[in-house]
Amino acid sequence: MSHPIQSPFVEIERADWARLAPRMPNPLTEDEVRRLRGLGDRLELREVAEVYLPLSRLVSLYQESAARLHRETHAYLGTAAHPTPFVIGVAGSVAVGKSTTARLLEELLRRWEGSPRVELLTTDGFLHPNRVLEERGLMERKGFPESYDRRALLGFVSRVKAGEAEVRAPVYSHLTYDIVPGEEVVVRRPDILIVEGLNVLQPPPAGSHLAVSDLFDFSIYVDARTSAIREWYIDRFWALKQSAFQDPQSYFHRFADMTRTQARMYSEDVWDSINGPNLVEHILPTRPRADLVLRKADDHTIRSVLLRKL
């Protein structure tokens, strides 16, 4: 007789999760929340207090515990202990709000005891340049695992994790939709590194024994119903059409004069042919690999939290 597979997570409803909130005032102002909020997100101060403040405290506890174990292990072995950055992965679909989650965590973690140095890296900088994607016939698969320089990303996080003094990464422009030649972001021995991207929880590709997710000390997946994310993407495309796409330097400036109907038809097609399949085939299957899942309702608010059983 077969037994049902038990979930590795315990689900905590938002009201119960909110009770874990530290007894401290919200460290962020309305203006700061507005600055951190992504296009289409409905993040409010109340959600910061009820969801993200307890989350940041939980992550800080994991980080403190990892640092203590690191020190005690070296003391036991009689070897010199060098600080090791605590690496957090944040994954999820296009338009689900993972970038907002990552930016918010960065701000909140900096404000905990000891004021740890926190750096945020988005994996967009490790997309292959458009020239390379065009040569390989991958422009229509931008965001799929094969569109990234996964070896370079793994090398970057490995060097940060090893404590190198300076580690450099390429810079991606959402204006030009491409890697910026000659520009770099420099990471200098942070206490915490947050790595945010679509596919950061992917297992090792064929022929490899190590993935960037193997270097994470804690990982978060931002989740919602696929149909809701599709609508968020369509709404975001329209909002971008009215704002960023109006810039003549924008890669998408050719869409600036689209009507509402044209914009919806185009964004529906992009979702159904690119972002939707990427979510279903590559991103969603990585959800069980996360330590914590933020589950959103259709209105973009956090409904519940799934925490991996210890």
pTM of the model: 0.94
- Per-residue pLDDT of 21-73, as tens digits, reads 767 777 888 888 888 887 677 888 899 999 999 999 999 899 989 989 989 99
| 1 pLDDT more than 70 | no
Looking at 48-52, 106-110, 207-211, which range is the least confident one? 207-211
What percentage of the chain has pLDDT greater than the value 70? 97
Tell whether residue 93 is among the known ligand binding residues: yes
C-alpha dihedral (51, 57, 58, 60), degrees to nearest 10: 140
8 A C-beta contact, residue 133 and residue 142: yes
The pair of three-digit structure tokens given for residue 286, joined into one six-digit string: 């990585």
Pairing mode, strands 118-122 and 86-92: unpaired
Cβ-contact 186, 110 below 8 angstroms: no
| DSSP secondary structure letter of residue 56 | H
Span 212-237, mean pLDDT? 97
Distance from C-alpha of 192 to C-alpha of 175, rounded to nearest angstrom: 28
Which pLDDT band holds residue 115 (cuts at 50, 70, 90)?
A: confident
Torsion from C-alpha of 18, 22, 25, 28, nearest 10 degrees:
-70
Residue 13 pLDDT class (50, 70, 90 cuts) = very high
Residue 96 labelled as part of a binding site: yes
* Interval 258-267: pLDDT, tens: 999 999 999 9
Question: Distance between CA 120 and CA 104 in Å, rounded?
Answer: 10
Say if residue 95 carries a ligand binding annotation. Answer: yes
Instruction: Determine the Cα–Cα distance for residues 111 and 106; give it in Å rounded to an integer.
Output: 9
DSSP sequence for 205-219: PTT-S--GGGG-SEE
- Interval 203-226 mean pLDDT: 94
Q: Where residue 81 falls among pLDDT bands split at 50, 70, 90?
A: confident
pLDDT attached to residue 2: 58
List beta partners, residue 291. Answer: none
Copy the structure tokens of residue 130: 């458009």
Instruction: Tell me which residue of 116, 102, 8, 3 sits closest to 52, measured CA to CA.
Output: 102
Who has greater pLDDT, 127 or 57? Answer: 127
Helices (H), 78-149: 98-109, 130-135
CA-wise closest residue to 222 among 45, 43, 41, 99: 99
Residue 99 assigned to a binding site: yes
Mean pLDDT comparison of 4-13, 65-74, 226-235, highest-scoring range: 226-235
Helix (H) or strand (E) segment spanning residue 150: helix 150-161
**Could you tell me what percent of the chain has a pLDDT over 90?**
79
**CB contact burial 164-176 (16+ within 10 A = b; e otherwise):** eeebebbebeeee
pLDDT tens-place string over residues 132-155: 999 999 999 999 999 999 999 999
* Mean per-residue pLDDT over the chain, rounded: 93
